[in-house]
Structure 1
Amino acid sequence: MKTRWIFGNQLCHQLPLLNEADKQNDVILMVEAKSRSLWQSYHKQKLVLIFSGMRHFAEELEEKGFTVDYRKAESFTEAWESHRERYHPDEVHVTTVTDHRMKRALKKWENNLNGEVAVHYHSEKPLFLLSEEEAVDRLKGEGPWKQDAFYRRLRKERDILMEDGNPVGGRWSFDQDNRKPADEDTAFVKPRTFRPDDITKQVIKEVERDFGDNPGNLDAFPWPVTRKEALKKLNQFIDERLPTFGTYQDAMLLDDPFMSHSLLSSSINIGFLNPEEVIEKAEAAYAAGEAPLNAVEGFIRQILGWREYMRAVYVKKMPGYASVNELGHEAELPAFFYTGKPKMKCMEQAIRPVIDVGYGHHIQRLMIIGNFSNLFGISPQAVSDWFNEMYVDAYDWVVLPNVLGMALYADGGLLSTKPYVSSGSYIKKMSNYCKHCEFNVKHQTEDDACPFNAMYWDFLDRHADKLQDNPRMKLIYSQWQKREEEKKKEIKKKAASLKQQLTKGTLEA
């Protein structure tokens, strides 16, 4: 008899492991392992999403005629031993996992079998467009690499937004068209949400009972927990929200954390949707004249480009990548990352939705939270742990490259050509947050000065030895070097004061 073991982020009906299954003789094993849920203090929304998704998936498999052994246990090992005692499998089939910690745990489990049960690994497609081998093959040498080359190659190979061998519209990227701030009265179609059914309601009760001290709340739970729901969310995004996604994808508005963002990453990363079908639907919308090219290309680049690229870097560089800290940042994470009550309006707006529903869009993650963390010198491992715990779409393979590499430059430029840091002027340009903030974005060293301003220049000064020769940063360093020494001292004094305030908790509301 064969056991086919499916994990909580592999909830895909198109898995090769399932396509090859014999419904009459094979058993599907699924395990809710409490010990796995305790690896980190995960957001309650994330736990509900995974547990409810797993239970719905098991129910769907049974409706299709599969035999499913669904177990709740303290550990994967405990569940496996009970399963083995009942079914006596001589083979176990597993879909390749990407996360290094899970890969290591599986290897330990396999070694403990002592060859008594054969273990077979299946392709992770269609969870990803590329297999691990294909992804790593595209990253030659030890880096640094550029996402653009990775993205262009995939576009060509898969003939996506291509015409006679050239990119549709004559450009590979329309990113320059996707940086428009939104006016306060700009209206966006609200994303589709779903009312929890009986399974999800039961999971919510159990999570509140068993993980009541975990961060986040469950006052609302908006996430799809089945493929059927995820498809509805995808279709609504393509039909109603994609047209305005591109132009405003870097914009931020007060009390509107969703705007035109797809909110599909949790469904893709858990397996409800596969990246290929999402890309195809977006491309079809452009072909039908239902969405502009800048929106479609920008959206596809997030999946075809960044998602596959980040996963490739992760597989290539782990396990050492988890400990990178090129800039030597060691400060502790402020308490307001969990309370959602910083004095800075932009930070409050970026963190509050994460606490409420486990979500924030990519500019909030990169240019608010990541930017703040870099400027204040917070430990990159503390930041990546927080991201891994708090976001519903977070898994090690996507968090570490995005946070350590792209947001924090902790890898020294392995996948990003410069740090994504800025003063408050960027936030003012791309949002209306500053209008509602007690700090003055135009001030640098006054008592009410926006903390991002002095901290930005202080960051550049602290890391001049590593960054001043970067071609993309020479202009800004020339501006810093032209400043009077007295003004530099004043800015650095203000930055030191802000760091003390952060440590003492006085930057919390």
Structure 2
Amino acid sequence: MRLVLVLGDQLSPNLSALRKCDKANDVVVMAEVGDEASYVPHHPKKIAFTFAAMRKFAESLRRDGWQVAYTKLDDPDNAGSITGELIRRASEYDAAGVVYTEPGEWRLIKALGDMPLKSHSLPDDRFIASHQDFDDWAKDRKQLRMEYFYRDMRRKTGLLMDDDKPEGGKWNYDHDNRKPAPDSVDYAGPMQFTPDPVVEEVLTLVAGRFDNNFGDLHPFWFATDTGQARRHLAHWVKGGLPKFGDFQDAMLNDHRYLYHSVVGLYLNAGLLDPLEVCQAAEVAYRNGDAPLNAVEGFIRQIIGWREYVRGIYFREGPDYVSRNALGHDRKLPAMYWGAETKMNCIAKAVDQTKTEGYAHHIQRLMVTGNFALLAGIDPAKVHEWYLAVYVDAYEWVEAPNVIGMSLFADDGIIASKPYISSGNYIHKMSDYCGSCQYRVQDKTGADACPFNLLYWHFLDRHRERFKGNPRMGNMYSVWDKMDPPRRDQVLSEAGAFLDRMDQGEKV
């Protein structure tokens, strides 16, 4: 007999390792282990979600006829690591070897490859593009831009296609999806589930073991099995999808979710399949229940961006997470861990992250990510923070979004220019600035928005690298036209702000 490893982000009944093996003879191994729960200080909600979903998935496998060797975190014989548990179970069952589906992190791939057990790794074919598919697409391309990859994924899946042409005549409706924050939101947010006995047991365990981790464990309302996740998906398609496109970049003080789907954690854990999610959105469009710009924008996030960043992660290799093309080395400010700040946008994004384990893509990219890039914070520290604090974060999806998209630390593999902005972008897309202690209208002075100061500081210190970038010429032209005393004032005040932040002062 063989062991069949199922990881906490592989909770899919059609997993390649399960398909390869025989439920009558082989044994599924699942384990809650300290190594996986603590290699970064995960948000307590992330740990609870993963363990509860694992326990329920194990029971579903048993009902389907599998023998499952499941180790809980507090089991006295727990070896503390995935490889340790496999070695222990191999001895217990006199197993001939281990079959597993490729993990989504180089760290685990190496650990499993180094095991003193005969093992067989299978591709994770829950994704639309295999590693070979992505490499074939990327071969001989000077720039690996997502848009062209996305078009191939549309053709491959047939989603929103009219024969061989895109639905509506255009591939991308992003220009329709940039409306500023609405005055009100008529969607109640994601479906919330009352914890059942399985979840309650896990919550008690997590509360006792991880009470010092950043993040609030309660209230806990996530779906923890596929049935619940599908109910949530149907709830969002009906109530949130119709206006998702218009306001997907907006941010509001009093609405944490707006019209966002909040399906990333369910997709990335394996409770939902990417094609079923996209097909549900497409059906809404075909039935006249959601507009094309909303449905196309959502589908692009799933079969375009999600598949693309996975391709980048595996193509670039294990050293991708350590890249630092801009040489940034500032430590992560305490405000990312909940310390007080005068910047309302940062405070709102971090508080939401602490409470929910969630922030949407613009909060991550243009608030916390934008600030980290402008301030020159060490990409490795920012990467570890994002991996720790978000429930949907796994390295294959998180690292390219942070190292590449947010921080430009990969030297432009993903982004054609740094995604930076002054405070004006946040002011345009949110109501954050109206209740901030800084004034977004002020470009200099004691009350000037730090984003305004740091924006020019970033451009000035990286001028040699970016002055020839065709998408940044206008920025440098504006900077060069400023009076020299004004430029000196901006740089001086930006430097003083960074010094205060480095010294631990409230900024």
Using the size of structure 1 for normalisation, the TM-score is 0.96
Contact 1:27 1:66 in 2 (8 A): yes
Q: Which runs of 5+ in 2 are unaligned?
A: 73-77
Change (3 A) 1:417 1:226: same
- Show the counterpart of 1:503: 502
1:4-153 mapped onto 2 (5 Å cutoff):
4-72=4-72, 73=78, 74-109=80-115, 112-113=116-117, 117=118, 119-126=119-126, 128-141=127-140, 144-153=143-152
Secondary structure at the residue paired with 1:93? strand
Give the whole-Å Cα distance in 1 for the aligned partners of 2:309 and 2:20.
Answer: 29
* Equivalent position of 2:244 in the other structure: 245
* Counterpart residue number, 2:154: 155
Q: Distance in 2 between matches of 1:402 and 1:258?
A: 20
Aligned counterpart, 1:427: 426
3-state SS in 2 of match to 1:403: helix
C-alpha displacement of 1:362: 0.2
The 8 Å contact of residues 340 and 351 in structure 1, kept in 2 or not, is answered as no
> Taking structure 1 as reference, are residues 185 and 395 closer, same or farther at Cα in structure 2, changes over 3 Å only?
same
Please report how far the alpha carbon of residue 328 of structure 1 lies from its aligned counterpart in structure 2 after TM superposition. 1.1
Cα distance in 2 for partners of 1:7, 1:340 equals: 34
Letter aligned with residue 302 of structure 2: I
The SS at the match of 2:478 is helix
What one-letter code is carried by the residue in structure 1 that aligns with 2:112?
Answer: L
Instruction: Give the Å deviation of 1:255.
Output: 2.4
Residue deviations 1:32-79, cap 9 Å, x none? 111222211111111111111111110111112211110232222332
Structure 2 residue matching 1:272: 3-state secondary structure? coil
Equivalent AA in structure 2 for residue 79 of structure 1 = E
CA deviation string 1:422-456 (max 9, x = no partner) = 00111110001111111100001111111110111
Displacement of 1:465 after TM fit? Answer: 0.8
Equivalent residue of 1:218, what SS?
coil
Tell me what 2:489 maps to: 490
Which AA in structure 1 matches 2:423?
G
Q: Deviations over 1:257-302 (max 9, x none)?
A: 2111100000000000011111111111111111000000000000
Q: Which secondary structure state, in structure 2, belongs to the residue aligned with residue 68 of structure 1?
A: strand
Asked if 1:339 is matched to 2:338, the reply is yes
C-alpha change, 1:279 and 1:185, in structure 2 (3 Å) is closer
- Give the SS at the match of 1:246: helix
Is the CA contact 2:181–2:429 (under 8 Å) kept in the aligned structure 1? Answer: yes
Identical-pair percentage: 40
1-structure distance, mates of 2:413, 2:37: 31
Q: What whole-Å deviation, never above 9, does each CA across 1:456-477 have from its counterpart, x for those lacking one?
A: 1111111111112111111111
Cα distance in 1, alignment partners of residues 181 and 495 from structure 2: 34
2:381 maps to which residue?
382
Q: Structure 2: how far apart are the matches of 1:143 and 1:320? A: 21
Q: Please give the secondary structure, in 2, of the residue aligned with 1:185.
A: coil
Q: Distance in 2 between matches of 1:45 and 1:507?
A: 28
Describe the shift of the 1:340–1:12 C-alpha distance in structure 2 as closer, same or farther (beyond 3 A): farther
Query: Following TM superposition, by how much is the alpha carbon of 1:143 offset from its aligned partner in structure 2, in angstroms?
Result: 5.2
> CA separation in 2, counterparts of 1:136 and 1:205?
45
TM-superposition CA deviations, 1:99-129 (whole Å, max 9, x none): 11110111111xx22xxx3x22223122x11
Higher alpha-carbon deviation: 26-35 or 81-90? 81-90
Q: Distance in 2 between matches of 1:320 and 1:17?
A: 27
Matched AA of 1:498: F
Moved more, 447-456 or 216-225: 216-225
Q: Which residue of 1 aligns with 2:75?
A: none
| CA apart distance, 1:136 | 2.6
Alignment of structure 1 residues 313-324 onto 2, 5 Å: 313-324=312-323
Can you list the C-alpha shifts for 1:465-492, whole angstroms capped at 9, x where unaligned? 1112111111111111111111100100
Deviation at 1:141, TM superposition (A): 4.5
Which stretch of the first structure deviates more once superposed, 136-145 or 66-75?
Answer: 136-145
Shift of 1:142: 7.9
Q: Distance in 1 between matches of 2:409 and 2:141?
A: 16
Task: Measure how far apart 1:376 and its partner are.
Answer: 0.7
The question of 1:296 aligning with 2:302 is answered no
The change in CA–CA distance for 1:372 and 1:390 in structure 2 (over 3 A counts) is: same
- 2-side partners of 1:203 and 1:68: how far apart? 19
| Structure 1 residues without counterparts, runs of 5 or longer | none
CA contact (8 A) 1:370 1:408 kept: yes
Task: Say which SS state the counterpart of residue 500 (structure 2) adopts.
Answer: helix
* Bigger Cα displacement from structure 2, 421-430 vs 335-344: 335-344
Residue aligning to 2:435: 436
Equivalent residues of 1:146, 1:415 under 8 A apart = yes
1:330 correspondence with 2:336: no
| Aligned counterparts, 1:104-503, within 5 A | 104-109=110-115, 112-113=116-117, 117=118, 119-126=119-126, 128-141=127-140, 144-339=143-338, 341-503=340-502
TM-superposition CA deviations, 1:224-260 (whole Å, max 9, x none): 1111111111111111110010000001111212111
For residues 326 and 501 of structure 1, the distance between their equivalents in structure 2, rounded to whole angstroms, comes to 25
SS at match of 1:120: strand
CA contact (8 A) 2:345 2:433 kept: yes
1:337-360: CA deviation from partner (whole Å, max 9, x where unpaired):
111532111111111111112100
2:32 is paired with a residue whose SS is strand
DSSP 3-state at the match of 1:173: coil
Q: How big is the alpha-carbon RMSD for the aligned residues of Structure 1 and Structure 2?
A: 1.4
Instruction: Specify whether residues 178 and 75 from structure 1 end up closer, same or farther in structure 2 by C-alpha distance, changes over 3 A only.
Output: same
1:29 and 1:136 map into 2 onto residues whose CA distance is 32
**SS state at 2:21 partner:** coil
